[in-house]
Each structure stands twice: as structure tokens, then as C-alpha cells.
Chain A
Amino acid sequence: MALVLVGLVLMQAGPVFAQDEGPSIVGVLESVENELREPVPGVTIIASLDGTVAGSAVSAEDGSWVISVPGPGTYEVELDVGTLPGGVALTDPDRPVLDNVRVREGQAKTVRFQLGPGISAQVGDLDRFLDLLVIGLKFGAIIALASIGLSLVFGVTQLVNFAHGELITLGAVLAFFFNASPLGPQWPLVFAAIPALALAAAFGWAQERGLWRPLRRRGTGLIAMLVISIGLSLFLRHVILWLYDGLPRSYSDYAIQREWSVGPLDIVPKNLVIILSALVILGAVGLFLQRTKTGTAMRAVSDNVDLAESSGIDVEHIILITWIVGTVLAALGGIFFGVTEGVQWDMGFRLLLFVFAAVVLGGLGTAYGAMLGAFIIGLASEVSTFWFDVQYKNVIAYGLLVVMLLLRPQGLLGQRERIG
């Protein structure tokens, strides 16, 4: 574990573009729609210095372009809007020219034009709605994976683990190390996920044995445990920030994919894969809880610790298993989240709000409730962008959380608590 962490420190890669001798202006043209990034080739870019053209380039198949410029200075860089392919336009149509591009000696100066679907390419409302449904399902699947662990752990220990978001990030970052870090083995993501999940399992084991069990033994109260979990969250999040630094990065595979069109539905393959594999895993979790001895014991402990203990269940062992399973599922959710949104140090903390909304909606402590709540939150927050701006996605999820607390605090699948 420590080795991997030290490895992570050193994986902050060097400059992206190899430098030629002279200064240059470089960039990559990508059209961004929802989460799909598509390179835009064949577009002319012109750089001029004091009104004179100093160089030009045409974007390559991968959207990249390089203009070698004669020397340092402040250039104007223009994108020739006429050469844009159909369906692609500047996000801000008033900014085809970027002035004030200051290039220093020997520098490869990066400039960025923001491109997206133009007005002409505006898809129909039905298409957009269907797209959002798919994205919502995918988001719901990710939240579901990420929330079950929180709900299971709450079930057996009564602890809402505020450091759960960091377990999500941990999975994504570990997978990044094995997949894309220059210091890692650079395996394809499918194989990189295996050691990442194994390490997550080890971490789940370690935090129960090293932290939570000793605290329970000392008789630490619930409120103290919650505060400790938030301290752990701060600690883990900033250790990841230290080792991984603040930049978002993508896995080396699945970053850019073309959509498949099925009738009116456009699906990015990775989204379909995420939805399907998440469903399979959720099904497996369900089977595990219903059919295996450990799963049944887990439900029994959730139901009533004393009863479970008196009927011969090794409660401490079940709690340990729950931490391991929960951490692995959170890590897996993190990897899927990383595939679609990129890997960043605070990604889990950002997802945590949605996870909380899901578990409260479904009923704290119920695994199936967490799944149900997750899909509702995922769909509701994504589909809401049909009417509202994307920046209010969180607000929608939060609104659902609060409404649920007002109407039915035990959640959809929870039961009114027994008192006394």
C-alpha cells in the first residue's frame, strides 16, 4: 500500500507536448456534448502578430494542432469558423479570436477554443430526453454501487460513515495508478481495476481492524464516531490531494467514444457497459444478501444485533466483512464514476451528497432501499437538466432528500423505528 502511495506522488506527469526548439501555439479541438468529447479535425487556425499572419495550422484527426511561431510576443489566434464541420460550433460564438496570447521564448503555449453542438445541430426534445434517461440510469447505477456500502455499514454498526466518499475516490485513484500513471504498469482499465479493488478490500479490512473496532471496544459514542469519520474524511481526501494533486485526469482507455445510435437513442458504449455491469453486480449483491450464509447473517445483524449475537452469529466478523464488501463496492463505483467524469481528488466527496440523498430516500440501513434511491436520484438529477441548468443537479437531489425527510423519514423501504 505504502509503495503504491509513494508511486502516486511521483506520477504527476511532465509536460504534455514535447517542445520544439522554437516557440509555438498548440491546442486540441474537441467538441464537448454532455460527457462525450469528440475531436474536431480539418479546422483552420491562424495566428497573427500585430495584424500580420505569423502562421497557421489545420487540426489533425485527433483534433490537435500546432502553429510554430517566429518568436515570443503577444499573438492573436483565430479559429476560421467557416472550416468547422456541420453540427459543431463555438460555445461562445462571439469569441472566434483569442487576443492577448502571450508566448514566451521556447514555450509551447496552449490555447483552447470551446466547441459544442451548434444551434443547427440542436437535437429534438425527445432525443435529448432519451439521452438524459440513459445518462440518468448510468448515474443511478454509479450511485447505487457507491451507496450500498454506506447503507450496509450503517445497518450493522449504526454509523453513517462520512468518509465514505473518500472510499469512492480511493478506488478511482488506485485504478488510475495501475492504468494510466507513468509509474504504474499501465494495464488496460479492466485489469487495472483488479488490484485496485483488492487494495480497496485491504483498506476496508484495515479501517475496521485499525480504527472502528478499537473505537467500539472503547465504547466510543455515536456522535464521537461521526466526528471521527469526518476527520478521517478530511485526512484521506487531503492525502489523496497531496499524492494525486488537484488536476482531473482520465483513464487511458474509454476516454473518447463515438455514440451508437439505436433508433432515436444515442448511447455511448461505455455508458451501456456501466449500466449493464452495475446491474449485474447489484444483482450479485442481492443474491449474496439473500442466499449466502454471510449475507443472511449481515441482514440479521442489521435487523437486531442482540438477537443475531444470541443466535450464534459472530457479529464482529460480520461487521468486518461488511466493511470489506462496502469498501470494494464504493471503490468500484468510484472507478465507473472516474470513467465517465474523470478522476479527481475530491470526486467522492462531490458524489457523497448524491449517495446520502439515495440512502435517505431509500431508507438508511436498507441495501435495496439504497439501490432504489440511487436510481431515483440518478434519474431525477440528470433528467432535471432537461428543464433546469446543469448546475442545479445537486439542488434537485438535495430537494428530494429534504422532501423525503419531511414526508417519510424512514425512507421508501425503511420501517418506522421501534422505541424502547
Chain B
Amino acid sequence: MYDALASTAHEPGVPKPDPIMVASGLQRSFGGLHAVDLESLEIQRHTITSLIGPNGAGKTTLFNLLSGFDKPDAGEWHLNGGPLVGIPAFQVARQGMIRTFQLTRSLARLTVRENVMLAATNQPGERFWHALFGKWRDIEEANREKARPLIERFGLDHMADEYAGTLSGGQRKLLEMARALMVEPELILLDEPTAGVNPALTQELLEHIIALRDIGMTVIFIEHDMDAVQNISDWVVCMAQGRIIAEGPPADVAANPAVIDAYLGHHHGEVP
């Protein structure tokens, strides 16, 4: 258990001692339906925070809002104290917040290596004139060296020069993570990284997530597997119907009646 949060109250929207991300008043509705409607959310730096909640709770919509892929109807949020309202998704990424997708977005007709190297942020050859006349090969070579251990770490080295489209579903999840790491983000948002992945690989993925925290990143991840949540989270935030209904350490949230209620619908009294 992570000590910094030891004295933090176990209640929705509670302030954290050292938040990397602070959001307040975020709202987004789709024709009448309030997909996200939260008063306040703070994410503690250097932790793994799990975002849980029943289907349709607004978790992915929240990710979309935080990462700039969707625009909220109201509200503001900050990364390291810098406001992110109206900042386009690509700039959010450049400011150090990277997200992955529920349905893996591997770039099928790029090789695994190209997928990872694409994520490098320092390549001037990505600018048109530099591509034509500039010198980008040295940096490209350096990036190749940087990508190599990442590809190895995720066990994709034997596939490095194959099209990403030929990978299995689980391998694509690994690739997406390797790609995200190449950006060297401070905060990484993982949308159901273990969905549809076999148990052995799930365990491997979870270990990778813990390793991310240990090298100093902050992780928020959406997860349905409660065992996984219990095992690796420092903090758990539970959403239902667009709102945060509980926050706290894993064991605490799991025992919270409001959470059980949200997962089981409104049949609380009938639970055996």
C-alpha cells in the first residue's frame, strides 16, 4: 500500500496530497443521458489508480474527456497544474498524458518496430521540410536503439519486422503498451488493458503495469477483473451513472455498499 494516501479520506472527490491530475465539474451528455457528471477527481502522482464501475458508468467517456478525444459540455481539468480545457488530443499527449483504447488500435500495415518508433517524440524528420532535406537518420538510429529494449521487454522481438496486423489480440495489447512507453509519458491511461486476454498474459500485463509505477509513472486503468484491481491498485475510484460513488483503497471500495449496489443494480436487499 502506498503511504502517501494513508491519511486520505475514503470518500468521492477527495483531495490528494500530490495530485498529477485534477478535474472538477466535468460534464458530458449524449442527448439527455448524462454520461459523465463528476464534481471532483484528483489522481495521486506515482500511483496506480483503478477506475471501476458497471457498464455504461461513463469510464471510457471520462478517459475520452481527460485525453482530449471528446469535449466536455462543462468543467475543467489540469495536468501538473496546467489547464487542459480546449487542448487538442495530440497536445495532451505531448504534455505527457498518453491513453490506450479499449479496442486495441494497432497500426496494422506498419511493422511492430514502426509502431513503436512512430511514438518517439523527438524526430524532426516528421516535419515535411526536414523529411525532404533534413538530417533525421541519426536520430532515427538512436530511436531504433531505444525501441529495441522496449520491444524485447514486451516479448515482441521475434515479430519486430512483421506487420502489426499479424499479431494476436494479446500481442496487440502489449504492442500498444510498448508504444505508449516510447512516448515517455508521466501519466498513462489504460482502457481495459486485460480485456479479451488469456489469464497467463493478463498476469504479464499486470506486472508490466506495476513496473510502470515503479519507474515513476502514474497509471489510471479501467478494469473489470476485481482480482486484478485488488492485486495491483493503490487506489480505486468507482463510477456509476457518470458520477463517482466511492473512492479509497481496493479492499475498502470493494466492501462499500454503494459499490455493491451499483454493480448489482437495485436489488441490494436480495443479495445472498
B69 interface residue (CB < 8 Å to A): yes
Question: Is A257 at the interface (CB under 8 A from chain B)?
Answer: no
Is the pair A420, B31 in contact by a Cβ cutoff of 8 Å?
Answer: no
**Are the C-beta atoms of B102 and A420 separated by less than 8 Å?**
yes
Q: Taking each of A415, A419, A420, which has the highest tally of chain B beta carbons within 10 Å of its own beta carbon?
A: A420
State whether B30 touches A420 (Cβ < 8 A): no
Mask, B81-106, CB within 8 Å of A = 1, is: 00000000000000000000110000
Q: In the bound complex, how far is the Cα of B166 from the Cα of A60, in angstroms?
A: 79
B144 to chain A, nearest CB (A): 31
Contacting residues, chain A, for B61 (C-beta < 8 A):
420
B24 interface residue (CB < 8 Å to A):
no
**A415 and B101 in contact, given A420-B60, A420-B61, A420-B69 (Cβ under 8 angstroms):** no
Shortest distance from the beta carbon of A112 to any chain B beta carbon, whole Å: 56
Cβ contacts under 8 Å, A420 to chain B: 60-61, 63-64, 69-70, 101-102
CB distance from B232 to the nearest CB of A (A): 24
Give the complex CA separation of A415 and B33 in angstroms.
13
* Chain B residues within 8 Å of chain A by Cβ, number: 10
Q: Is the CB of A415 within 8 A of B64?
A: no
Contacts of A418 in B (CB 8 A): 30
Interface residues on A, range: under 10
Q: Are B30 and A419 in contact (CB under 8 A)?
A: no
Q: Which residues of A contact B101 (CB under 8 A)?
A: 420
Complex Cα spacing A419 to B61, Å: 8
Which residues of B in the span 99-131 have a Cβ within 8 Å of any Cβ on A? 101-102
A419-B31 in contact (CB<8A): no
Q: Mark A402-420, 1 if CB is under 8 A from B, else 0.
A: 0000000000000110111
Nearest opposing residue in chain A for B191, CB measure:
A420
Q: Please, how many angstroms separate the alpha-carbon atoms of A219 and B229 in the complex? A: 36
Q: How far is the CB of A364 from chain B (nearest CB, A)?
A: 16
A416 CA to B61 CA in the complex, in Å?
A: 14
Give the distance in Å from the alpha carbon of A213 to the alpha carbon of B102 in the complex: 28
Cα-based distance from A418 to B60 in the complex (angstroms) = 11
Residue of A at shortest CB range from B31? A415
> In the complex, which residues of chain B have a beta carbon less than 8 angstroms from the beta carbon of A419?
64, 69-70
Give the residues from 174 to 214 in chain A that come closer than 8 angstroms, CB to CB, to chain B. Answer: none
Contacts of A416 in B (CB 8 A): 30
- Tell me the minimal C-beta distance from B99 to chain A in angstroms: 10
Per the bound structure, the CA–CA distance linking A419 and B101 in Å amounts to 11
* Chain B minimum-CB-distance residue to A415: B31
Complex Cα spacing A335 to B184, Å: 62
Complex: chain A residue closest to B65, CB-CB: A419
B171 to chain A, nearest CB (A): 21
Complex-state Cα separation, A416 to B101, whole angstroms: 20
Which residues of A lie under 8 Å from residue B70 when comparing CB positions?
419-420
**CA gap between A416 and B69 in the complex, in Å:** 13
Chain A residues with CB under 8 Å of B102's CB are 420
The distance from the CB of B63 to the nearest CB of chain A, in whole angstroms, is 8
Minimum-distance CB pairs A-B, first 3 = A420-B60, A419-B70, A420-B64
Report which B residues bind A (CB closer than 8 A): 30-31, 60-61, 63-64, 69-70, 101-102
**Pairs A–B under 8 Å by Cβ, sample size 15:** A415-B30, A415-B31, A416-B30, A418-B30, A419-B64, A419-B69, A419-B70, A420-B60, A420-B61, A420-B63, A420-B64, A420-B69, A420-B70, A420-B101, A420-B102
Contacts A416-B30, A419-B70 given; 13 further ones with Cβ under 8 A?
A415-B30, A415-B31, A418-B30, A419-B64, A419-B69, A420-B60, A420-B61, A420-B63, A420-B64, A420-B69, A420-B70, A420-B101, A420-B102
